[in-house]
Amino acid sequence: MPAPYHRNALRHLARGALAVSALLASAAGQAAEELHLYNWGDYINPQVLSRFTEQTGIKVSLDTYGSNEEMLAKLQAGASGYDIVFPSVHMQDSMAALGLLEKTSIDRSPAFANIDPSFLRAKSDPKGEYCMPYAWGTVGIFYNKTKVSKPIESWADFFAEAKAGKKVIMLDDMRETLGVGLIVNGKSVDSTDLADIKQAESWLLERKPLVSAFTYESVPMVQSGDVAAAHYFVGAMMYVKQDPEHLAYVIPKEGATLYQEDMCVLKSAPNKANAKRFMEFFLQPEIAALNTEQQMNGTPNKEALKLLPAELRDNPEVNPGPEVMAKLQIFHDLGKDLKKYDRAWTRVRTAN
Amino acid sequence: MLTAENRARWRLAGLLSPATLIIGLFFVVPLAIMALYSLLEPGMYGGVEWTFYPDNFGRILGWADGSNEEFDVVYLQILLRSFKLAAITVLLTLLVCYPAAFWVSRQPERLRNFCLFLITLPFFTSLIVRLYAWVLILRPTGFLNASLQGLGLIDAPLDLIYTEGAVLLGMTYIFVPFMFLPIYASVEKLDRRLLEASADLGAGRWQSFWRVIFPLTLPGIAAGSIIVFIPSLGNFIVPSLLGGARVLMIGNLVEQQFLAARNWPFGAALAMLIMAAVLLFLLLYVRWQGRAALKEAAR
CA distance A163 to A157: 10
DSSP string computed for A298-332 = B-SBHHHHHHS-HHHHT-TTTS--HHHHTTEEE--
Q: Are A218 and A225 in contact (CB under 8 A)?
A: no
| List of chain A residues whose C-beta atoms are within 8 Å of the C-beta of residue B138 | none
Given this model, what pLDDT does residue A165 score?
Answer: 93
CB spacing of A339 vs B261 below 8 angstroms:
yes
| Cβ-based interface (< 8 Å): residues of A facing B | 9-10, 12-13, 67, 69-70, 72-73, 76, 94, 97-98, 167, 169, 172-175, 208, 211-215, 217, 221, 224-226, 335-336, 338-339, 341-343, 345-347, 349-350, 352
Q: Which helix (H) or strand (E) holds A142?
A: strand A132-144
Whether the pLDDT of residue B276 is over 50: the answer is: yes
At B238-270, the pLDDT tens digits run 999 999 988 889 999 998 998 888 899 999 999
ipTM associated with this complex = 0.85
Q: Is A174 annotated as a binding residue?
A: yes
Q: Decide if A240 is inside a domain.
A: yes
Q: What is the CATH number of the domain that holds A277?
A: 3.40.190.10
Strands A211-214 and A168-170 turn out to be: parallel
How many independent structural domains does chain A possess?
Answer: 2
Q: List residues bridging with A211 in a β-sheet.
A: A168
Nearest to B126 among A13, A76, A174 (CB): A13
**Residues A27 and A141 reside in one and the same domain:** no
**Residues A14 and A162 reside in one and the same domain:** no
Q: Decide if A1 is inside a domain.
A: no
Given this model, what pLDDT does residue B2 score?
Answer: 63
Given this model, what pLDDT does residue B1 score?
Answer: 57
Query: Mind listing the pLDDT tens digit of every residue in chain A (352 residues)?
Result: 565 544 444 444 445 444 444 444 444 444 579 999 999 988 999 999 999 999 999 999 999 998 898 899 889 888 889 999 999 999 999 999 999 999 999 999 999 999 999 999 999 999 999 999 999 999 999 999 999 999 999 999 999 999 999 999 999 999 999 999 999 999 999 999 999 999 999 999 999 999 999 998 899 999 999 999 999 999 999 899 999 999 999 999 999 999 999 999 999 999 999 999 999 999 999 999 999 999 999 999 999 999 999 989 999 999 999 999 999 999 998 888 999 999 999 999 988 7
Domain ranges of chain B: 1-37, 73-262
Q: Decide if A186 is inside a domain.
A: yes
CA distance A350 to B252: 11
Residue A148 structural domain: 137-257+324-350
- B27 and A CB contact within 8 Å: no
Strands A229-233 and A132-144 turn out to be: antiparallel
CA distance A119 to A107: 13
Q: Which of A15-29, A266-280, B29-43, B111-125 has the lowest mean pLDDT?
A: A15-29
Q: Is A175 annotated as a binding residue?
A: yes
As a whole-number percent, the residues of chain B with pLDDT over 70 amount to 99
Q: List all residues 6 or more positions away from A15 whose beta carbon is below 8 Å from its beta carbon.
A: A5, A41, A64
Given this model, what pLDDT does residue A1 score?
Answer: 58
Q: List residues bridging with A142 in a β-sheet.
A: A230, A249
CA distance A312 to A137: 13
Given this model, what pLDDT does residue A77 score?
Answer: 82
Q: Decide if A2 is inside a domain.
A: no
pLDDT band at B65 (very low <50, low <70, confident <90, very high): confident
**Residues A270 and A302 reside in one and the same domain:** yes
Given this model, what pLDDT does residue A69 score?
Answer: 85
- B73-262 under CATH 1.10.167.10, yes or no: no
**Residues A46 and A112 reside in one and the same domain:** yes
**Residues A248 and A220 reside in one and the same domain:** yes
Q: Decide if A3 is inside a domain.
A: no
- B56 and A CB contact within 8 Å: no
Q: What is the mean pLDDT of chain B?
A: 91
**Residues A265 and A129 reside in one and the same domain:** yes
Q: Which of A5, A11, A69 has the highest number of chain B CBs within 10 A, making it the mutation to test binding with B? A: A69
**Residues A250 and A143 reside in one and the same domain:** yes
Given this model, what pLDDT does residue B299 score?
Answer: 66
Nearest to B44 among A208, A213, A336 (CB): A336
**Residues A118 and A146 reside in one and the same domain:** no
CB spacing of B241 vs A217 below 8 angstroms:
yes
Q: Identify the CA nearest to A64 among candidates A108, A114, A26, A14.
A: A14
Q: Are B224 and B179 in contact (CB under 8 A)?
A: yes
Quick check: helix, strand or coil at residue A207?
Answer: helix
**Residues A157 and A45 reside in one and the same domain:** no
Q: Are A177 and A170 in contact (CB under 8 A)?
A: yes
CB spacing of B240 vs A215 below 8 angstroms:
yes
| List of chain B residues whose C-beta atoms are within 8 Å of the C-beta of residue A217 | 135, 241
CB spacing of B126 vs A76 below 8 angstroms:
no
Q: Decide if A298 is inside a domain.
A: yes
CB spacing of B74 vs A10 below 8 angstroms:
no
**Residues A147 and A240 reside in one and the same domain:** yes
What angle, rounded to 10 degrees, do the helices at B264-298 and B214-234 form?
170
Q: Which of B126, B262, B263, B264 has the highest number of chain A CBs within 10 A, making it the mutation to test binding with A? A: B262
Nearest to B141 among A173, A217, A224 (CB): A224
- B77 and A CB contact within 8 Å: yes
Answer yes or no: pTM beyond 0.90. Answer: no
CA distance A130 to A96: 9
